[in-house]
Chains A and B, each alone.
Chain A
Amino acid sequence: MAKMIGAIEVDIETCKGCSLCVEACPTDVIALADEVNGKGYNYAYMANPDACNGCTNCALVCPDSCITVYRKKVEMA
């Protein structure tokens, strides 16, 4: 069975922890980290990577263009 799997990469240092991506993610992949970045923001990260389908919603609403989205169709056993 083919399935879309995705992943995001957050530029931690430019993330301001606004959490708009958390809200926009339809599969609850993203959360804000307990740790902070150099500017003191709790940055976004993939808390639940398995659920990501690479829909790009998070990157679309991100005001700081700090999310890169990857997507690939893979055959699942």
Chain B
Amino acid sequence: MAEITEDIKVAENIVHKKSSVLTDKVMHYCPGCSHGVVHKLLAEVIEEMGIQDKTIGVAPVGCSVFIYNYLAIDWQEAAHGRAPALGTAISRLRPDRYVVTYQGDGDLAAIGTAETIHACNRGENMVMIFINNGIYGMTGGQMAPTTLEGMKASTCPFGRDPKTDGNPLKITEIVAQLPGTNFVTRQAVHTAAAVRRTKKAIRKAFEKQKDKTGTSFVEVVSTCNSGWKMNPVDSNNWMEENMFPFYPLGDIKDV
């Protein structure tokens, strides 16, 4: 049997390999970080659609600030929160291109709320990918706009208290209300099945861009095992138990 295992390791039997749109650089993320999975899915969708030469990405400030090191497409690095403004101009000045922004929760739903809402409300033709892990990973685990009630972070060490810290923000439900969005969905990448669904969602978001009918918005509820101080497997379990009840998965809008 062991010989058979070795024998089948030939190119014709490959059923899954690293996307050619991903570069050779090793991602700087912590072990088990959801960013890596979403980067991979984005790369696979771009590869499968054959649009590597037609896609312009906008990178955020946050852990994924260096996403441009990992996907071999043209990238612009935005200031914190401003990716949708960059995307707006790119999309309007290069309507022949696919524009994709990639942001975390602090970027998209705190400092960049105005840019997010107005780009979605105008219906800028771009894909917006939103990583929601309820915490500021890069700066060391501070409270995010999406931090759950009672959830601990370094700036709410005893758990988020809505009376003093405000409430967690469901920005995705807000952008779904706006006339400019054509597809709004919330997904996760904690299981193989969830990864398949998220990939389908990202693919759909890109396909939607062919019709130029507005903003396609994909939230991925994610883990931050360093920030949450749990191992990757426990983080996934914690996310299922605690994040999903407040941030339920599934399509919110599809028009």
Q: Which residues of A contact B (CB under 8 A)?
A: 5-7, 9, 13-14, 16-20, 23-24, 41, 46, 49-50, 52, 54-57, 59-72, 74
Provide the main secondary structure of the chain A interface: mixed
CA distance A6 to B227 in the complex (A): 36
Closest B residue by C-beta to A70? B13
Q: Which residues of A contact B101 (CB under 8 A)?
A: none
Q: Which residues of B contact A72 (CB under 8 A)?
A: 8, 13
Q: Which residues of B contact A (CB under 8 A)?
A: 1-2, 4-6, 8-10, 13-19, 22, 26-27, 29-37, 40, 189-192, 195-196, 231-233, 236
Q: Which residues of B contact A68 (CB under 8 A)?
A: 14, 16-18
Tell which of B27, B40, B192 touches A56, judged by Cβ atoms closer than 8 Å: B192
Q: Is the CB of B5 within 8 A of A20?
A: no
CA distance A42 to B142 in the complex (A): 29
CA distance A54 to B14 in the complex (A): 9
A9 to chain B, nearest CB (A): 6
CA distance A66 to B29 in the complex (A): 14
B15 to chain A, nearest CB (A): 5
Could you jot down 5 A-B contacts, CB within 8 Å? A20-B236, A54-B15, A55-B192, A61-B190, A62-B37
Q: Is the CB of A70 within 8 A of B4?
A: no
Q: Is the CB of A49 within 8 A of B16?
A: no
CA distance A66 to B27 in the complex (A): 11
Q: Which residues of A contact B26 (CB under 8 A)?
A: 13-14, 64
